């Protein structure tokens, strides 16, 4: 496997980087504990390391935990790149990252928009990506996702969300999209599925742009670092 070939880099970028254009919505589906938060943090980091501001919203989780994820991944990056220091990486990303937590069911799209307005007006922070982690999709209606899509379009930013799938619910629509996004898949521009396969975490693209089950290769991520482990079926 030659990970230097342009097609692979492009694929990794599409899958883990920024497959969304401004105004678009993406969702990362996985069962509990597989690594939704870790993957979303990787997506955010990729943007941050490219100098793009990210708003990381965590629902029912405290910012401290999210900061630990970033620290862990930055440590991994620093460890495998000689000459790159953790402090330097932190210094680079921290001014571009903002973590916003909503605890105890206090989240709503209106509140998010108000908080973003405050941030823009008071601190000139203007994110190009919003990571929205922890929304309870079992209780999320179509109109909530529509409102988030409108929010993304109005504010010219992309949103990556996480959604938990349940092992005991096997509902999947005719386009191959499982519950809980089986009735709202038309609102998403990218739908990824994370699954544990043997010793790795497998990332499958279920939808990208208008294409369902596109012929992208499957990516395997390291279960601890969530860094690229293997790409299967490279063209």
Residues that bind another protein (CB under 8 A): 60-65, 67, 85, 87, 94-95, 98-104, 106, 111, 115, 117-119, 121-125
* 229 vs 45: CA distance, rounded Å: 18
Specify the residue, 24 or 133, whose C-beta has the smaller distance to another protein. Answer: 133
CA angle, corner 109, sides to 175 and 118, nearest 5? 140
Nearest distance from residue 114's CB to another protein, in Å? 8
Nearest distance from residue 104's CB to another protein, in Å? 6
* In contact, 150 and 159? CB cutoff 8 Å: no
CA neighbours closer than 13 Å in the CB half-sphere of residue 90: 11
Specify the residue, 112 or 205, whose C-beta has the smaller distance to another protein. Answer: 112
Specify the residue, 60 or 144, whose C-beta has the smaller distance to another protein. Answer: 60
Nearest distance from residue 125's CB to another protein, in Å? 8
Specify the residue, 113 or 183, whose C-beta has the smaller distance to another protein. Answer: 113
Nearest distance from residue 232's CB to another protein, in Å? 38
Backbone angles phi, psi at 60, to 5 degrees: 60, 30
- 179, exposed or middle or buried, with CB in 10 Å at 0-12, 13-18, 19+? middle
Specify the residue, 22 or 117, whose C-beta has the smaller distance to another protein. Answer: 117
Nearest distance from residue 176's CB to another protein, in Å? 36
Closest CA relative to residue 11, chosen from 223, 220, 226:
220
Backbone angles phi, psi at 224, to 5 degrees: -100, -45
């Amino acid at each position: 496997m030659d990970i230097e070939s342009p097609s692979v880099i492009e694929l990794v970028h599409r899958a883990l980087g920024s497959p969304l254009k401004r105004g678009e919505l993406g969702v990362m589906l996985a069962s509990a504990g597989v690594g939704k938060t870790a993957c979303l943090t990787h997506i955010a980091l990729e943007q941050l390391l490219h100098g793009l501001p990210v708003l990381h919203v965590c629902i029912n989780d405290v910012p401290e935990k999210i900061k630990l994820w970033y620290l862990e991944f930055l440590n991994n990056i620093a460890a495998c790149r000689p000459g790159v220091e953790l402090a330097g990486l932190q210094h680079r990303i921290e001014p571009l990252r903002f973590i916003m937590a909503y605890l105890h069911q206090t989240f709503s799209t209106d509140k998010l928009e108000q908080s973003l307005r405050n941030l823009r007006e008071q601190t000139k922070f203007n994110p190009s990506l919003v990571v929205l982690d922890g929304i309870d999709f079992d209780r999320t209606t179509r109109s909530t996702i529509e409102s988030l899509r409108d929010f993304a379009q109005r504010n010219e930013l992309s949103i990556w969300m996480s959604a938990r799938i349940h092992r005991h619910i096997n509902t999947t629509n005719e386009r191959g999209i499982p519950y809980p996004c089986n009735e709202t898949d038309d609102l998403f521009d990218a739908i990824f599925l994370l699954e544990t396969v043997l010793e790795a975490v497998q990332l499958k693209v279920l939808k990208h742009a208008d294409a369902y089950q596109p012929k992208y290769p499957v990516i395997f991520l390291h279960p601890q670092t969530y860094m690229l482990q293997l790409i299967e079926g490279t063209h």
